[in-house]
Amino acid sequence: MTTATVSRTSATSTDRPKRPFNWGSFRTYISAAIILIWCLAPFYWMVVTAFRDVGFTFDTTPFFTHVTWDNFATVFDESLGNHFGKNLLNSLIVGVVTTVVALVVGVFAAYALARLNFRFKFVVLGFILGASMFPGVALVTPLFQLFTNIGWFGTYQALIIPNISFVLPLTVYTLTSFFREMPWELEEAARIDGCTQGQAFRKVILPLAAPATFTTAILAFIASWNEFLIASQLSNDSTKTVTVAIAYFAGSQPHQEPYTAVMAAGTVVTIPLVILVLIFQRKIVAGLTAGAVK
Amino acid sequence: MSTELQKPKTTAGGGQKLPGRESADRKEATQGRWAYTLLAPSLVLLAIVIIYPVINAIVMSFQKDSGLDATTGFFSEGGPAGFDNYIHWLVQQCTAPGGGSVACPPGTLGAQFWDSMGTTFFFTLVTVAFETVLGFWMAIIMARAFRGRSLIRAAVLVPWAIPTAVTAKLWFFIFAFEGIANKLFGTQILWTGSEWPAKWAIIIADVWKTTPFMALLILAGLQLIPDEVYEAARVDGASTWQRFRLITLPLVRPALMVAILFRVLDALRMYDLPAIMTQGANGTTTLSILVVQQIRQGFNTAAALSTITFLVIFLVAFIFVRFLGANAVDAATSSGKAK
């Protein structure tokens, strides 16, 4: 009843000095709370379960109860046939090598795409964008046979090479949009001062581009760290990555899903990423949306 | 290369030499050479990791799988197959034990092609529809100025950062029979054990994971709309709905179309969630899952299917860019031109 009168009066006289209650911002806060809960509740539930005693797996208490570190011990326990420490290391190796290769190679391509005019630029950009949308499953079949034939099955390069197929386009694309927004007048200034284009690139632009490159590196690493399809098909026990390990995590009972241990493993894999993402939030959002809208 | 670049330009000038024209051409030519030198490593690497496997897959798809020949009972070495592997999938014909071909018996991979095609498109349509609507709503909220806005913007990155494999396990746990979802809603649904609940469990998990990406892309588009436009509309007496329909929607359309294009292409290759949550059981086999299952039964037949999958995704991308104006390349180049 009161709301109806409030909205009618505010509609007739918009320049009232004081409003009794701002329904618009109230609704914004309610919506914001819903978004917050929707995004964080499942993640929170994973962490709560990770710290919960196995006997209380399906307890519905919404806060930390029956807290224990046992699940994390189970995750790293090798007696059940899991090698989670090794899997973490594998993911790290594949992720770091993929990221470094993609950055070292991609930074030059991004510079060319952002700064230089040349023929078929449109075609090159289209090819790189198309490559980033390429279905991984179309690579798995031929690579499965190829790597089996040349004895690469279960090597790191068997995972790194297909990962480059989607991390490199992502790197080039993100860096290109970052590079467009850099103060390139400085490059001009350096050239006037007698630098060649190559020197200007090395001495002025590269240090300037470091933050953008770092953000792109985070995005590239996350993309590689999260990869599942290729790793599940082209790795063996010695190169298995964490995502594959979590998907096929072995419990102590053969027909019982080790939920709490899996949630603990998920927490171990996710927490570093979440911390990284929260610290570099602004940059990552800029990197994610770069290029898609301009 | 450089002379080729210069020639058409000078003749196009109609013999009339504009001052500075020639040096500009030369500059572009040297820039072109420099550009391709810088691009070469990336292009070569992409050619090795993408084009070579694709050509390899196409060649493989026209070969017979080696194995026991159904007609003779002997081991056959393969050999050229023509379009047999493609026909196998598209019309679901399998080799009969007595020679010739029959409709693939139910349960075999060959019989599942059109079903999994349908499942893939169903997942794509439903998840992208939900993500667009929810993402748009989230973006509108995030675009408003209120205290704690940066908290929300950080929070939406959490589902995005979690690996899909972990997301799958997390929702598998939430949707367990004794899990929180059933307790919360007082239901007793075997979520991942029957057809429609399994589909919805996967859809919900996918929407949770990828809506933030959509929301952030749309938000970036929203932030490009100047406030004055809204101000002017308000002065002219446009209602909230009119402002949304006549200003927000058309102005955010390019960003929205690119976001939808990205998500559609991503959803068409969906693998992780159904592979982990249901292993493709209960009508959740997507094209990607079918390819992976076929790899174990025969490379060449799998290669044909992966080529079909690739062509389907390519076709959808083409339709989007050509007819719906989702021009990601244009969006990427235009800002460079504007400067």
Position A259, amino acid? Y
Asked if A112 and B171 come within 8 Å (Cβ–Cβ), the reply is: no
3-state SS class at A149: helix
Q: Kindly report the CATH number assigned to the domain that includes residue A196.
A: 1.10.3720.10
Residues of A (226-265) whose Cβ lies below 8 Å from B? 226, 228-229, 232-233, 242-244, 246-247, 257, 259, 262-263
The answer as to whether A255 is a domain residue is yes
Residue B253 burial (C-beta neighbours within 10 Å; 0-12, 13-18, 19+): middle
Q: Closest to B331 (Cβ–Cβ): which among A164, A277, A292? A: A292
Residue B77, pLDDT score: 63
The answer as to whether A56 is a domain residue is no
Residues A46 and A115 in one domain: no
Residue A5, pLDDT score: 41
Contacts of B121 (CB under 8 A, 6+ apart): B268
Residue A292, pLDDT score: 58
- B-chain CB neighbours of A142 within 8 Å are 53-54, 56-57, 60, 303
Query: How far is B268 from B273, CA to CA, in rounded Å?
Result: 13
Tokens 């996967």 belong to B202
3-state SS class at B26: helix
Residues A26 and A136 in one domain: no
Residues A44 and A140 in one domain: no
* A81 min Cα distance to partner chain B (Å): 19
Residues A155 and A262 in one domain: yes
3-state SS class at A190: helix
Mean pLDDT of chain A: 83
Q: pLDDT digit string (tens) for A94-123?
A: 999 999 999 999 988 988 888 888 888 888
- A-chain CB neighbours of B219 within 8 Å are 289
Instruction: Check residues A85 and A10 and name the one with the higher pLDDT.
Output: A85
With vertex at residue A265, the alpha carbon angle to CA A262 and CA A270, rounded to the nearest 5 degrees, is 125
Residue A281, pLDDT score: 83
pLDDT band at A3 (very low <50, low <70, confident <90, very high): very low
Residues A99 and A176 in one domain: yes
The answer as to whether A65 is a domain residue is no
Asked if B46 and A141 come within 8 Å (Cβ–Cβ), the reply is: no
Position B334, amino acid? S
The answer as to whether A117 is a domain residue is yes
Q: Closest to A108 (Cβ–Cβ): which among B32, B38, B54? A: B38
Q: pLDDT digit string (tens) for A46-64?
A: 999 999 888 887 888 888 8
Inter-chain Cβ pairs, chain A and chain B, closer than 8 A: 306
Query: How far is B302 from B255, CA to CA, in rounded Å?
Result: 36
The answer as to whether A70 is a domain residue is no
pLDDT band at A195 (very low <50, low <70, confident <90, very high): confident
Q: Closest to A35 (Cβ–Cβ): which among B152, B173, B329? A: B152
ipTM for the whole complex: 0.84
* A5 min Cα distance to partner chain B (Å): 19
3-state SS class at B68: strand
Q: pLDDT digit string (tens) for A225-269?
A: 999 999 998 888 889 999 999 998 877 776 778 888 899 999 999
A124 interfacial to chain B (CB closer than 8 Å): yes
- A-chain CB neighbours of B26 within 8 Å are none
Residues A159 and A274 in one domain: yes
DSSP string, B71-112: TT-SEE---B-TTHHHHHHHS-EEE-TTSSEEEPPTTSGGGG
The runs of H, that is alpha helices, within chain B are 2-12, 21-46, 52-61, 84-90, 113-143, 149-155, 157-161, 164-174, 180-185, 195-222, 227-235, 240-243, 249-268, 272-277, 287-295, 299-323, 328-338
Residues A83 and A156 in one domain: yes
C-beta atoms surrounding B78 within 10 Å: 14
The answer as to whether A34 is a domain residue is yes
The answer as to whether A64 is a domain residue is no
3-state SS class at B313: helix
- B-chain CB neighbours of A40 within 8 Å are 155, 158
Query: How far is B258 from B278, CA to CA, in rounded Å?
Result: 31
Residues A88 and A34 in one domain: no
Output the CA–CA distances (angstroms, integers) from residue A283 to A106, B41, B141, in the order listed.
19, 27, 20
Cα A157 from chain centroid?
21
Residues of A (21-60) whose Cβ lies below 8 Å from B? 25, 28-29, 31-32, 35-36, 38-40, 42-43, 45-46, 49, 57-58, 60
Beta-bridge partner residues of A67: A52
Residues A17 and A118 in one domain: no
- B-chain CB neighbours of A161 within 8 Å are 48-49
Residues A188 and A96 in one domain: yes
Residues A11 and A153 in one domain: no
Residue A88, pLDDT score: 92
Residues A36 and A95 in one domain: no
Q: In this predicted structure, which of A13-22, A84-93, B56-65, B214-223 has the lowest mean pLDDT?
A: A13-22
The answer as to whether A57 is a domain residue is no
Asked if B32 and A58 come within 8 Å (Cβ–Cβ), the reply is: no
Query: How far is A141 from A135, CA to CA, in rounded Å?
Result: 11
CB B200 within 8 A of CB B127: no
Contacts of A15 (CB under 8 A, 6+ apart): none
Domain boundaries, position A37: 2-50
Query: How far is A46 from A264, CA to CA, in rounded Å?
Result: 8
Residue A125, pLDDT score: 84
Query: How far is B52 from B48, CA to CA, in rounded Å?
Result: 5
Instruction: Report which of B99, B96, B97, B61 is spatially closest to residue B80, judged by C-alpha positions.
Output: B61
One pLDDT digit (tens) per residue for chain B, 339 residues: 333 444 444 334 444 445 555 666 666 677 788 888 888 899 998 888 888 888 988 888 888 777 655 555 556 666 777 777 888 888 777 776 666 667 777 777 777 888 899 999 999 999 999 999 999 999 999 988 888 888 888 899 999 999 999 999 999 999 988 888 888 888 888 887 788 889 999 999 999 999 998 999 899 888 888 888 888 888 888 888 888 888 888 888 888 888 898 899 889 999 999 999 988 888 889 999 999 988 888 888 888 898 899 889 889 988 888 777 666 665 554 443 333
Residue B326, pLDDT score: 62
- A-chain CB neighbours of B28 within 8 Å are 117-118
What is the total count of domains within chain A? Answer: 2
Domains along chain B with CATH numbers: 2-60 (no CATH), 67-105 (no CATH), 114-338 (1.10.3720.10)
A153 interfacial to chain B (CB closer than 8 Å): no
